[in-house]
Amino acid sequence: MPGEPQADCLFCKIVEGQIPATIVRESDTTVAFRDINPQAPTHVLVIPKVHYENAAALAVAEPTIAADVLREAQTVADEEKLESYRIVFNTGAGAGQTVWHAHAHVLGGRGLEWPPG
């Protein structure tokens, strides 16, 4: 059921403490942790504690929590002292989504070219 933890979801397992992660922030609705395959000097994932397949599904079902994800991404950037940074939501395999749990990538600490990849 949407919003409920999924037994086969890596990020749900991180939320539940079943899989370790380097957590940098946690709120009532989100968890932020360092990416295990960083693409920039700062690469933190911000995830909602509820399970939705992608950012669009989260925004439709739980707009307040979607806003919490963005707010926490800003706080991560502030705490990491990033003057410039990028927030990325990959949606679908063709866009690079590999974990089917909504999440934001906070990337910074180096120049980020445009257009991306």
84, amino acid identity? S
CA-nearest of 49, 26, 23, 45 to 35 is 45
- 43 included as an active-site residue: no
CA distance 70 to 84: 15
C-alpha dihedral, 113 to 83 to 57 to 90, nearest 10°: 20
The residue from 43, 51, 101, 103 that is catalytic is 103
What number of CA atoms fall less than 13 Å from residue 97's CA on the CB side?
19
Q: Which residues are catalytic?
A: 103
